[in-house]
Amino acid sequence: DTLVRRLKTDGNWSLLDRLWLFASESQQAAQVSLVNPSSTQITEVNSPTWTINQGYTGNGSTMYLNTNYNPNSDAIQYALNSACMGGYSRTNLTESVNIIGHSDGVNSTVVSPRNAGDTITGRMHAAVNASGANTSSLGLFAVARTTSTAQAVWKNGSSVASSVTASVGIVNNSMYVLAINSSGTAAQFNTKQCSMAFIGAGSVGQLLLFNAIEAYMDSIGAGVV
């Protein structure tokens, strides 16, 4: 209740299409988006490990979450030149895979918290990454597009890197968490523990969102920032 009220006060609630709290008190609740809860629930594929008040953990090979959110058919605030998405990681490691996203072989919408070489990378409706230095994969990571040529990657409410990259098009398949949807096939499996994921407009206030999510995570004893 405190989290929802804060998101509404901050103006972010109305800008989100989906917000899943995987770090919840029940596994069934973890599959339901707080925003638009009547939307299709998350599908657990190959039983990713769920831990109360922490979230889902992948095995790096077969486990992932299908959000069942395809922006071509399910978008409300999400648009070609105004979009964002991301997730909260409770695991710190170098892992050159994306925590959430999808691709059609031409362009992608993905974000990777900490690749080999200690970099964060992400792209939104593009074939080129924005990337910057990052030595920890703990916290809230996001990629956002705010214009037809501007994309940026975010860590814990701060912009880490941006790039002038034209939007190509919206990928026409569902986004995955703990892997990506690569033209209908799961790929880039990872072993992070993911506590939440979100999808929305490019105008979502990333610092306000991080502050609200971190306050929630701290309140249940699961915050890592």
Closest C-alpha to 164, from 134, 126, 119: 126
Alpha carbons 75 and 72: distance in angstroms, whole number: 6
Each residue's pLDDT tens digit, 38-49: 999 999 999 999
For the whole prediction, is pTM greater than 0.95? yes
The residues facing 155 across adjacent strands are: 141, 158
Structure confidence at residue 68 as a pLDDT band (50, 70, 90): very high
Each residue's pLDDT tens digit, 181-205: 999 999 999 999 999 999 999 999 9
Alpha carbons 99 and 40: distance in angstroms, whole number: 21
- Helical H segments across the chain, by residue range: 2-10, 27-30, 71-74, 206-219
